[in-house]
Chain A
Amino acid sequence: RKEVEQDPGPFNVPEGATVAFNCTYSNSASQSFFWYRQDCRKEPKLLMSVYSSGNEDGRFTAQLNRASQYISLLIRDSKLSDSATYLCVVNSDSNYQLIWGAGTKLIIKP
């Protein structure tokens, strides 16, 4: 089993729709969780950290479910500019190292 698993997609979603994707992780002791966004041929950029209580940043909501060992990302009122690959990231046992999912590709269509 991979340490961090994501559905690779692509998710093809009409503009204005709500889209959600999950990511599962294998290390029950993980403490740090993130979503990164990566545009084509660019570097990954931090989208948001994921806190135990869940957190929201504008149209983006991240949730953590420790019991089932998954994190989720919800995007409301999707924009064309949301088209990107979304990477799920979880800390390793050492905590200063991060383990990266392979990414979920999102395509927003007009």
Chain B
Amino acid sequence: DVKVTQSSRYLVKRTGEKVFLECVQDMDHENMFWYRQDPGLGLRLIYFSYDVKMKEKGDIPEGYSVSREKKERFSLILESASTNQTSMYLCASSRYLTGQNYGYTFGSGTRLTVV
């Protein structure tokens, strides 16, 4: 089974701190994604990457950046944490072959609270 591991289940950070969320997958997947999920708003895409050193903005990239230096690792960075970034953060990875999407596998999530 594909395993996607997020470094922390729960984090509490102070306003203005720089926050790093790490995600590692072990199945050589090309694509990796960062989402946040808030009650009533569903999953919202922050950034994604379809290859090493490649990144694309999702629907809500403001206040975030990402890094993908190795294929298996995709990091989400909150440059200066704010209280409105309190949320559940979900990392996902997927294999992709031309014309076929095999769905995503998610990590167990990081529940971030910014105080």
Which chain A residue lies CB-closest to B42? A102
- Whether the Cβ atoms of B42 and A100 lie closer than 8 Å is yes
Question: A78 near B: Cβ within 8 Å?
Answer: no
Interface residues on A, range: 20 to 34
Question: B31 near A: Cβ within 8 Å?
Answer: yes
- Whether the Cβ atoms of A96 and B96 lie closer than 8 Å is yes
A95: which B residues are within 8 A, CB to CB? 96, 99-101
Known pairs A44-B106, A101-B42 / 19 extra A-B pairs, C-beta < 8 Å: A36-B103, A41-B111, A42-B108, A42-B109, A43-B90, A43-B107, A44-B43, A44-B90, A89-B103, A91-B101, A95-B96, A95-B99, A95-B100, A95-B101, A96-B94, A96-B96, A96-B101, A97-B45, A100-B43
The 5 closest A-B pairs by CB, nearest first: A102-B42, A32-B101, A43-B106, A96-B96, A100-B43
Which chain A residue lies CB-closest to B58? A97
Interface readout for B69-82 with A: 1 if CB under 8 Å, 0 if not?
Answer: 00000000000000
B residues 16-47 near A (Cβ < 8 Å) are 31, 40-43, 45
A residues 71-106 near B (Cβ < 8 Å) are 87, 89, 91, 95-98, 100-103
Which chain B residue lies CB-closest to A6? B42
Tell me the A residues contacting B by CB distance below 8 Å. Answer: 31-32, 34, 36, 41-46, 49, 87, 89, 91, 95-98, 100-103
Question: B64 near A: Cβ within 8 Å?
Answer: no
Interface-central residue, A31, A91, A96, A103, by most chain B CB under 10 Å: A96
Which chain A residue lies CB-closest to B48? A97
